[in-house]
Structure formats: structure tokens, C-alpha cells
Amino acid sequence: MGEDIGFWAVAGLLAAVGGLAVAAAMLDSVMGAAAMGHARPVAAMLDPVRETARLLVQQRSVVPASDSVLRLIGTGGIVLAAALAALVVPVGMRPVADLDIGVVWFNAMEVLVWAALWLIGWGSNAAFGLVGGYRIIAQGLAYELPHMFALITAALGAGSLRVGDVVAAQSGLWFVVWMPVAFAVYLLSALAMAFWGPLGQPVDEDLAGGAVSELAAVDRLVFLAGRYALLAVTAAFAVPLFLGGGAGPWLPGWLWMLLKTLAVLGVLVWARWRLPTMRMDRFMEAAWVVLIPAILLQALVVGIVVVARG
Amino acid sequence: MGDAAFWILAVGAVVTGIGVFQMDSMARATFLLLASFLCGAGELLLLGLGYLGMVIVLMMTMEMVVMAVFMVMYMMNPAGLMPMTMVHNQRPATVIAVVTFAGLVAGILLTPWPERKGARPMDSTMQVGEAIMGPQMLLMIVIGVAILATMIASVVLATDRGRYDRYGDRLERRRPDDPIPGGRR
């Protein structure tokens, strides 16, 4: 802690996160159109822009007796948590704030998102909103253990919780090569942490939008911005953890970071449109009987390698 | 800068802590309590204890989110938005709280705190790890086993369906018979 963080570095980072969030929304829109069989990619790419304009002029809606303070804290909290999580994501080789506990910081910000989403659901004073809010808590708790172990396995391989050190430790061999299980578990649990795609039940269509069913106008716009930013940051964090950060031939570090982030983002968005939504109660036993033992074994293997290397 | 942050967080922790008992909504009370804990975590970060501070943020957010669910369930009507009160047995409770607070503050102010010996460690996380895994290892092992035993015991007591309900009296079923299927079908 205690490093000096430059104003312009933070401003640049926020701009980058914003750009990635817009890219994620456009990618989502294009892939969605393709999955639905609409062959008009350019029009689909501009759909997020149209949706933004529509939400900006839409009338705000407030349910009687709703707790608007908590709802506002929740809506803003998702954007804030995504931005704070981005602080430890390296642009190139080093993050803007290379905290000595960067990996724990990232996980803590993800957990704040559960609280924020529950607050939106609760503050809306609507049945579907509340059910969606409870879903994110169940889902978050269910996936937190495998997620935490996947993060810790990468930190264990580097011998440090500092994200810069994790990147530096992959100069010889990317972690994805010798901890493939941890990478797979990270991607799967990242879907749950960003309540996205197959694990998007907290805001799913079956609840008419779940936790955010009552959000309209600017409130929904802020939520969507935070949601796509969260997805982009979650995808970006896989790169320093498992894909060597900004390492790569010819191109500069930041460009490699961007390309790899877009590749992971593409996989996550693809998963949304090509995989069915999973009911979490059906998946629960598989999570406990398969996922957690698998990631524990992976951590054991990595631990043995680390000790054997000295 | 550090002093200003300390006082903002300290006053914030106390004010949000008092706010917990002024609320008529369990959700607001729970998240004010979380805000109070986060202020406390901020103080630890100011002390340079990055790992402990962030673990408090992580654990307390999870715990308060779970607590919100249970407290809403126990203390509010099912619709949730009916007013309720956070205080019961008000006068003795106030006296106990004030006396405890005064005692703790007196303890802080009257204790002859030792001066720092040696330099600040480069990596406080490593130092915490060495303290836990070194001299306190036996204690941590005992605590770890005790917590695991408590968890298993509470799950065994809480569950109404064991493996004999799922797999039959002689554990003869190949697939479990569950009212809500849990994955293995």
C-alpha cells in the first residue's frame, strides 16, 4: 500500500475501462444478433448507442415505498466496484496501483458487487427484484470458494499477491500452460461473479430482469455501464493471472494486454449466446463434488512445484 | 493526509455504527454496519496492514450480505418494508453500551503503548504469514480442526436428509433420490 498513484494514470485507466465496456456491449450486441439469425452486424453494433440515447430520454420510474437511497448506492456501487477493481489490472506489465495485496483487492471488489446487486433488488421494492437479489447472494457464495482458490493458485505460483509479480513470474511459461484447471475454474467462476451468460440468473429473463427489473432510464444506463465494465475488468484480470500479462513479441505490452483481454471477453460473450442458462440448484452438487476438489488438486500440484523449485 | 484520513474514517465508523440503531429497516441497518466495518478496514490499510485490511473488506462484505438475508427473515415482516425498530430494552442497553465504549476508550488512552522496535517490514503480508505458520502453528492447527468439526457438526444437525435418505437404507441406489435434483442425474 501507500504507492503514489498519478492522476493522469487513473484518468487514462478509467477511459480504457469505459472503452472496453462499450466494446463489450457492442460485441454482445453483434454476437446476439448473429445468434438470433439477424445478418446486420453494423446495425447491431450501433444498438448500444441507440439504447443509450433511449435510456437518456426515458422517464425515470420509481416504485412506491421503494428504498431509493439503497437502490442508488447499489447502482453506483457496481460502477465503483468495477473501477476500483480495474486499479490492480496491469496495463502492460504493471498495474496503475500495484498494491502488495492486489489479488485480494480484486476479489474484495467482486464481493462488493454482490452487495450492490442485492441493494438494487431490495431497494426496488418489487418481488422479482428481491428474488434476483437473493439469487446473486446464493450464486456468489457458491462460486466464491472455487474463484478464490483459482486466484490463490496463480498467486501461489508467483509466490506473491502483487499482480505485477504474478505477471513477472510468467516470463518463462504462462500459468495457463501449467495450471489449466485453475484457468478454467477462473473463467467459469468469473461468469458467476459478473452474473453473466450461463450464470446470469440474478438478472435473467425468467424474472423479467431479476434484480434490475425495475430500473429504467438513467438508473438502468448506469447499471448497464457498470455491468459491462465489470465484465471487461473480469476478463482483463484473467490476462495477468494466466496469460502472461502484456508479454508478447513485436507489439508493445499495452497492445498485447488489449488483444488478450478482447480474446477472453470474446469467449465470455460467446458463452452468453451459445450456452444455455444453468439453474444453480442443479449445478450445486457438481460445483462441490467436482469443481472444488479439482481446483484444490490444482493448488496442490502448483504448491508441490513451487516447493520443489525452491 | 494520513491524519485527515484517520479522523474521517474514525468518525465515519462511529457515526455509521450509531446509525445502525437509528434505522427502521434491517437492510439499512445491516449496510450501515458494513460501512462501519469498512471504515475500520480503512484504518488498518492506513497502518500499512494491507492484507488484514482487505481480508476485513472481503469477509465483512460477505458476512453482512448473508446477515441481511437472515435479519430480514427474522426481524421484518415478509414484505420487508414495514417499519421495525433496532432497539429493545432501551435504557439498560444504552447504559451497557456507553459504559463498554468508555471502558474501551479509557483502555486505549491509559495503556502505556510500547515504542516501535526495529524497522517497518517491507511486506506485512509475509510477516502475518510467518507469525501464523511459525510460532502460532499449533494454535492455528487446533483452531482449524475445531472450526472444521463445528462446520460438519452444524451441517449434520441442520440437514434433514442424510445419505441413507438419498441412496437408500443399504446405500443401494446408484443415483440419489432428491426432492430437488442437485446435479448428478
> Which ipTM did the prediction report?
0.87
Longest dimension (CA), chain A: 63
- The answer on pLDDT for B183 being more than 80 is no
Q: Could you give the percent of chain B with pLDDT greater than 70?
A: 92
For chain B, the domains span: 1-92, 136-185
Other beta carbons less than 10 A from residue B169's beta carbon:
8
Number of domains in chain A: 1
Q: A122 vs A60, A81, A134, A278, B72, CA distance in Å?
A: 18, 19, 9, 24, 11
Burial of A17 (0-12, 13-18, 19+ CB in 10 A): buried
Residue B80 has pLDDT above 70, yes or no: no
* Nearest Cα residue in chain B from A127: B79
Instruction: Give pLDDT, residue A222.
Output: 94
Q: In angstroms, what separates the C-alpha of B154 from chain A's closest C-alpha?
A: 18
Rounded distance, CA B169 to CA B163, Å? 9
Q: Of the candidates B25, B51, B65, which has its C-beta nearest A101's C-beta?
A: B51
Would you call B60 an interface residue with chain A, using a CB distance cutoff of 8 Å? no
Cα–Cα distance, A255 to A232 (Å, whole number): 15
pLDDT value at residue B142 = 93
| Chain A interface includes B184 (CB < 8 A) | yes
Does A1 contact B123 at a Cβ distance shorter than 8 Å?
no
- Residue A291 domain flag: yes
> What's the per-residue H, E or C state across chain A?
CCCCCCHHHHHHHHHHHHHHHHHHHHHHHHHHHHHCCCCCHHHHHCHHHHHHHHHHHCCCCCCCCCCHHHHHHHHHHHHHHHHHHHCCCECCCCECCCCCCHHHHHHHHHHHHHHHHHHHHHHCCCHHHHHHHHHHHHHHHHHHHHHHHHHHHHHHHHCCCCHHHHHHCCCCCCHHHHCHHHHHHHHHHHHHHCCCHHHCHHHCHHHCCHHHCCCCHHHHHHHHHHHHHHHHHHHHHHHHHHCCCCCCCCCCHHHHHHHHHHHHHHHHHHHHHHCCCCCHHHHHHHHHHHHHHHHHHHHHHHHHHHHHHC
Residue range B44-73, pLDDT digits in tens: 999 888 899 999 999 999 999 999 888 888
Distance from CA of A109 to the nearest CA of B (A): 8
- What is the pLDDT at residue B185? 45
Rg of chain B over all Cα atoms, to the nearest angstrom? 23
Whose CA is closest to A291, among A142, A137, A140? A142
pLDDT at B168: 87
Tell me the three cell numbers of residue B68: 441481511
d(CA A307, CA A205): 48
Residues of chain A below pLDDT 70: 1-5, 92-93
The burial of B86, by beta-carbon neighbours within 10 Å (0-12 exposed, 13-18 middle, 19 or more buried), is given as middle
Q: Is position A2 within any domain?
A: no
Range in A281-285, B18-22, B60-64, B162-166 with the lowest mean pLDDT: A281-285
The pLDDT score that the predictor gives to residue A4 is 58
Cβ pair B55:A107 closer than 8 A:
no
| Angstrom distances, CA of residue A20 to CA of A59, A105, A246, B37, B75 | 28, 21, 16, 33, 43
Percent with pLDDT over 90 in chain B: 38
CA distance A107 to chain B (A): 7
Longest Cα pair distance anywhere in chain B, in angstroms?
A: 68
**Residue numbers of B between 103 and 142 with CB closer than 8 Å to A:** 123-125
Interface A–B counts its CB contacts (< 8 A) at 88
Return the C-alpha cell found at B38: 469498512
β-bridge partners, A90: A95
User: What's chain B's length in residues?
Assistant: 185
Direct distance between the N- and C-terminal alpha carbons of chain A, in angstroms, rounded to an integer = 27
CB atoms within 10 A of CB B8: 12
Exposed (0-12), middle (13-18) or buried (19+): which is A230, by Cβ within 10 Å? buried
Residues of B with CB below 8 A from A65's CB?
A: 81
Is pLDDT at B79 greater than 80 in this prediction? no
pLDDT higher at B40 or A197: B40
Q: Is residue A1 part of a domain?
A: no
d(CA A69, CA A62): 12
d(CA A52, CA A220): 10
Q: Do A73 and B81 touch (CB under 8 A)?
A: no
Taking the CA of residue B118 and the nearest CA in chain A, the distance in Å comes to 20
Comparing B133 with A186, the larger pLDDT belongs to A186
> Which among A1, A99, A114 has CB closest to B65?
A114
Give first-to-last CA distance, chain B, whole Å: 59
More confident residue, B148 or B22: B148
Question: Averaged over B144-165, what is the pLDDT?
Answer: 88
Is A12 among the domain residues? yes
Q: What is the pLDDT of residue A2?
A: 43
Residue A92 to residue A247: CA distance in whole angstroms: 8
Q: Would you call A141 and B62 a contact, using CB atoms and an 8 Å cutoff?
A: yes
Q: How high is the mean pLDDT of chain B? A: 85
Range of the structural domain that residue A255 is part of = 7-309
Contact B54 A101 (CB under 8 A): yes
- The residues pairing with B65 across neighbouring beta strands, listed in sequence order, are none
Rounded to whole angstroms, how far apart are CA atoms B65 and A237? Answer: 24
Lowest mean pLDDT among A199-213, B65-79, B93-107, B123-137: B65-79
Q: What percent of chain A has pLDDT over 90?
A: 40
Closest CA to B48 of A1, A226, A121, A187: A1
Of A107, A161, A284, nearest to B182 by CB-CB distance is A284
pLDDT of res. A1: 44
Residue A118 lies in a domain: yes
Please compute the mean of the pLDDT values over residues B154-160 and round it to a whole number: 84
